Amino acid sequence: MSLAWWSRVLAPEGRVARGAGDDADEVYVALPGVKAPSILADIDSASALRGALIRSGAGVARREQLLRAAAAKATASARVRRRLPNLVHVDAGSGGTLRRELGDRLGTDVRLWATAGPVRPNRKPVVRVLDRDDDRIIAYAKVGWDTATADLVDTEADALGSLRQRPCRGLIVPDVVDHFTWAGLSVLITRPLPVDERPAAEADAEVPSLVRLVEYGG
């Protein structure tokens, strides 16, 4: 997705721009690169970045797996993360940011790892929300950014509410934390299911190499 599209999601009255910015409050690593990122991972969250790298890789040779394992260890360092080539920053403009709004709703400072789904008319971002202090996923957010996706988010919120009131045997339903409209966006926040309550980086051992990150940047 373009940075203009991400601006609509993360800072509706501002913008998402290349680079780390000057004293920017929010900086993200853009994967696979800054031209059309499908994933944005908060630079201040080692867990979010590693988890994002894990999910952006697919079936590779053993040598590449070893390179990725080394990269995973390297990105644990804030200094390394700050020197990655494919950084973008958020300028809130005259309004707020999604990260700030989610933090206010959850009552704590948070970091974000946002993923855009496959290219299709109902594409909408899914945001993993991590606690700033312990770097663990504490919530998920879905964002309806246009009429079609807002309707889908609203319908999902209604369905989850109905299922919580009338449980189905064998079906685990996440708790709805909040469902609201913000800056023209429909936002649904849910709690993680028990299987999701672990650091984002624990899901897998595969992450792209720093060499590949340099190749993707630009």
3-state secondary structure of 54: helix
What contacts 140, CB < 8 A, 6 or more positions away? 126, 127, 128, 129, 174, 189, 190, 191, 192, 196
Q: Out of 50-54, 55-59, 103-107, 197-201, give the one with best mean pLDDT.
A: 103-107
DSSP for 64-91, written as a single string: HHHHHHHHHHHTTSHHHHHT-S-EEEEE
Token output for 168: 């189905």
Considering only CA atoms, which of 91, 95, 105 is closest in space to residue 15?
91
What's this model's pTM, rounded to 2 decimal places?
Answer: 0.83
pLDDT in tens, 91-129: 998 889 999 999 999 999 999 999 997 777 778 899 999
Percent of the chain with pLDDT over 90: 53
Q: Which domains does the chain have, with CATH numbers?
A: 3-216 (3.30.200.20)
Provide the pLDDT for residue 208: 38
pLDDT in tens, 10-31: 999 999 999 998 888 899 999 8
Provide the pLDDT for residue 31: 86
pLDDT in tens, 164-212: 888 777 788 899 999 999 999 999 999 998 765 555 555 443 333 343 4
Considering only CA atoms, which of 72, 155, 74, 139 is closest in space to residue 107?
139
CB 50 within 8 A of CB 210: no
